[in-house]
Amino acid sequence: MPIPAGAQIGRYEIIEPIAAGGMGEVYRALDTRLRREVALKILPESVTSDASRRARFEHEARALAALNHPNVLNVYDAGTDGSITYIVTEFVAGQPLRGKLPVPDATDAARQIARGLQAAHAAGVIHRDLKPDNVLRTRDGRLKIVDFGLAKTRQQPDAVADDGETLTVQTQPGMTLGTIGYMSPEQVRGEEVDPRSDIFSLGVILYEVLSGERAFRAGSSVETAHAILKDAPPPLPDAIPVALRQIVSRCLERTPGAGSSRRATPSSPSRSWRFKMVGVRPV
């Protein structure tokens, strides 16, 4: 049941609900001490007794706290109030990065998302659920990477869990996390991931904003997963600059450390790309 407007959680006063999903309920709220609007993410009461879910929720707060970058959501606070566990972040009044964009706007989006990813990866944080809904555009045109609920830190091994709206795909030895259609091949296979998995997801997003179509979309989740593992998306239109098409292709290399069908070598292409337009080199 949603928390009503005016309710007090710690020093935060609820204004209105923003979103709800398997990883938590998000509210716009007022920090009554600092008099600023914030986003208050609350672990659903239905799972507060689940130690693994509480641990993952708390992990999200720590993952965000490790980051300080204009293209990544900032965390302000975390705590408990009675039976309620919450995370407080900046409130982003923005829209998800959806739909086809003109080439200059898509190029700018690539630059901003890549910079945010570089900061996350440098801090030892892998997002693992990068998708258009988790990239918000603010009123001034800045992009913010949000929702680190499935993030993995350098010290944390890959985990098995089951989240409401985030698809769980059955794989060879067990299960894996992410949103189908934006997962890397190694995520689909249930393998341990590194920052190159986020680079693949970035490539899927860039393909989508350049073409207006999903890179991997089939009749079912299983067929979409198969397409990620076996199929290349249709070529981007010739009107897209060659350099930009090459960047998307490089991001979407099916094997993280190898170009085309070759095995990885120190000199072979991989998703650990660098390019002038974006101006950063994810690690």
For residue 200, the number of C-alpha atoms closer than 13 Å in the C-beta half-sphere is: 31
Q: How far is CA 273 from CA 38, 127, 133, 165, 250, in A?
A: 35, 18, 24, 31, 7
C-alpha distances (whole Å) from 73 to each of 42, 93, 237 are: 16, 12, 33
Residues serving a catalytic function are 129
Give first-to-last CA distance, the chain, whole Å.
42
Structure tokens at 138: 């603010």
